[in-house]
A and B are shown apart, each in its own frame.
Chain A
Amino acid sequence: MALTIKEVEHVAMLARLSLSQQEKETFAVQLGTILEYASTINQLNTDGVEPLDHILPVFNVFREDQVEPSAPREEILSNGPLIEDGQYRVPKIL
């Protein structure tokens, strides 16, 4: 079942996306199809099955509290589109 336009607007707001009316209508249908497909899993009977927090039966994987060298600043910053004074320059968000 398609999502309501309001639900699409809410998800778009959370994702900081600005959508046209046409896109909202398209995504309402597409997102509905995706959710419907995913909900197939609800057909399984999970009575008595413990909820799973992690897919592997692994616990307590730790590292020691030891400082390792950080990445060279120029190298790591080179991945950003705009750099100023050794920092990423981004649009102001308040």
Chain B
Amino acid sequence: MGKDYEVVIGLEVHAELKTDSKIFCGCSTAFGAEPNTQVCPVCSGFPGMLPVLNQKVVELAIITGLALNSKIPDYCKFDRKNYFYPDLPKAYQISQFDLPICMGGYLDIEIDGDKKRIGITRAHMEEDAGKLVHQGNITSTTFSLVDLNRSGVPLLEIVSEPDMRSASEARAYLEKLRAILLFAGVSDCKMQEGSLRCDANVSVRPVGETRLGARAEIKNLNSFRSLERAIEFEARRQIEAIEDGEAIIQETRTWDEDKQATRSMRSKEEAHDYRYFPEPDLPPLRISHEWVERLRTVMPELPDQAQIRLQESFGLPSYDAAILTLTPESLAFFDKCVELYPQPKMVSNWMMGELSRLLNQNNLEISDCRFGPAELARLLTLIDEGTISGKMAKGIFEDMFASGKPPDQIIAEKGMTQISDQDTLIKVIDEVIAANPTVVEDYRNGKEKALGFLVGQIMKATKGQANPGVVNTLLKERL
């Protein structure tokens, strides 16, 4: 490659707001119901039906704005975004165009220990569309089925500035945004259920160039992994095209998970003509300073504040603090565990090591974990008391993870108690010394390695239950 390029990324994130009912009618927003059982004339777009705004949607949007350091204007309104698609029964989406509920803002990410601030352009409220189910093979089928349960579910679209320069920065931004939305309690953020969705605007330019290149908007990114892969693929595709002398056209592309590639959906010029105009069915909003301040006072602890608390009150490294504050569940698990077993770094090590390894292996979240913080605290206490060794604890931990049984029960069932009793151990040690005269002789002649062999024999004779610390001390004494 002749030149060096940099990739420029901005993200548009749609988060479903956590309400019981839809944004403009009383239908339930619960996920997973039978098709078209949570619909009414309003969210099905019947003629003459009037939307009435759900107050909770506005409050959750304001809370999000505050959490993202946005300005909440004292006036905002809704607009109609017109387009034809079978999942949009009114043939327009009620959204916000020029006067959204949140203006500006930022969040901070950490990349390889360095802090970077990513700007937020705006966030606006809108209604979700329905769901299209294509029958059979997407290329050969001739029809689709429409389920309107999702039509009218409240969304907040959060648009970032084009401030990210790599796939890993984009991932860090999305992870941080998700953590903030979860801590603020405004969205479930379940990517697999579509309550958090992400589109990426990706362009490339030669290093040093300040103008933005033509961008591709990539859709269908429904996991952190597909976000990263799609950006990496798209940046490479654009750089290769430029190197081959081709022009990049502004277009919408979709991420094909099977092919691990982006492909063109439609070019932007012909598709984007939404003919926005003010929504005549909804009066505008006046948002008072008092209302905003009232919501600010009920704001829960946010990830950045929690990270500072973990570092200052518990002396955790910033890396640990960042990982533990990715979800409120993981922070709550940590806080509860430390309350019962006040050694924060030890708890953090176990959560980031054993626990997160098993969760990842099984594709689970911490909320799926079958034991609680009290059981982990108990396990760590048993190590300190010398009942079990650290090594035994790892085995017990796996059992706890698989069965949900408390550590004491697993130890009792398996007869795994560690032997720390000196008389019992001395008996075994003396037997091993007697059975291995040459090795003992080697050690006495200065061969340090021989000690390891003898310890191994003692552990074997006690089926791994001997307390290694006690064995070492006693063995040296006896030799």
Contacts and interface: CB of A to CB of B under 8 A. Distances in A.
Interface of A: 10, 13-16, 53-56, 58-71, 73, 76-77, 79, 84-94
Contact of A58 (B19, B40, B283): B283
Nearest to B25: A68
B20 A65 contact: yes
B284 A68 contact: no
Interface of B is mostly: loop
11 contacts: A14-B273, A53-B278, A54-B284, A56-B283, A59-B283, A62-B53, A65-B20, A70-B37, A73-B39, A87-B35, A92-B143
A54 B83 CA distance: 22
Nearest to A93: B86
Interface of B: 19-21, 25-28, 34-41, 44, 46, 52-58, 77, 82-86, 132-134, 138, 141-148, 270, 273, 275, 278, 280, 282-286
B286 A87 contact: no
A94 B132 CA distance: 11
Contacts of A73: 34, 36-37, 39
Nearest to A61: B283
B133 A87 contact: yes
Contacts of A60: 283, 285-286
Contacts of B26: 63, 66-70
A87 B285 CA distance: 35
Given A60-B285, A86-B36, A87-B133, A93 B55 contact: no
A61 B84 CA distance: 28
Nearest to A58: B283
Nearest to B30: A67
A87 B55 contact: no
B77 A67 contact: no
B21 A59 contact: no
B31 to A, nearest CB: 14
A60 B53 CA distance: 8
Contacts of A84: 145
Contact of B36 (A66, A76, A93): A76
Contacts of A89: 143-146
A76 B19 contact: no
